[in-house]
């Protein structure tokens, strides 16, 4: 698939820290409850750490107590793409940045959270950069 932002593996490795590269480019997962945005309440826009595309607003973030930042919807459906993920012995829906193809996390449905969409976008903090709203 062609993305608006495309870089070679060497360019991604130069731009990203080893931990960022593992998650964003190799679909790794950061450990639960250690990410910088897990409990953040700051108002603003969450962007892809790799390409700075705007992905989620803080007003869609909610406390799921799962160990990773959770959102009930992206800014728009074209901001993310979905892939079937059959790793880990189960079928899940992987969420990637629609602008550069970087791994963000997974989306789950029907878990009973009181959100407008009944979805939980479980996103790695290390995949995001928060741009706070101007005061």
Helix (H) or strand (E) holding 15: helix 9-15
The reported pLDDT for the residue numbered 87 is 83
Q: Give the structural domain span for 14.
A: 9-31+44-132
Distance, CA of 36 to chain centre: 13
34 pLDDT band (50/70/90 cuts)?
very high
Catalytic residues: 122
Residue 36, in any domain of the structure: no
- Residue 80: inside a domain: yes
| Predicted confidence (pLDDT) at residue 90 exceeds the cutoff of 90 | no
- CA 10 from centroid of its chain's CA atoms: 22
- CATH code of 64's domain: 2.170.150.20
Q: Residue 93 CB: number of other CB atoms within 10 A? A: 15
Residue 63 lies in a domain: yes
Asked if residue 68 belongs to a domain, the reply is yes
- Report if residue 15 sits inside a domain: yes
* pLDDT recorded at residue 1: 56
Residue 38 in any domain: the answer is no
Residue 37 lies in a domain: no
- Between CA 77 and CA 94, with CA 71 as vertex, the angle to 5 degrees is 60
Say how many domains are in the chain. Answer: 1
53 alpha carbon, distance to own chain's centre: 11
Q: 0.85 exceeded by the pTM? A: yes
């Amino acid at each position: 698939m062609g993305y608006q932002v495309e870089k070679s593996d060497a360019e991604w490795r130069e731009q990203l820290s080893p931990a960022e590269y593992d998650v964003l480019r190799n679909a790794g997962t950061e450990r639960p409850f250690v990410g910088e945005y897990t409990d953040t309440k700051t108002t603003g826009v969450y962007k892809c750490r790799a390409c700075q595309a705007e992905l989620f607003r803080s007003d869609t973030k909610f406390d799921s107590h799962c160990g990773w930042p959770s959102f009930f919807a992206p800014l728009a459906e074209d901001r993310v793409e979905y892939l079937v993920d059959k790793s880990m012995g189960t079928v899940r829906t992987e969420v990637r940045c629609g602008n550069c193809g970087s791994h963000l996390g997974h989306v789950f449905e029907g878990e009973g959270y009181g959100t407008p969409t009944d979805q939980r976008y479980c996103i790695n903090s290390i995949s995001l950069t928060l741009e706070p709203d101007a005061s």
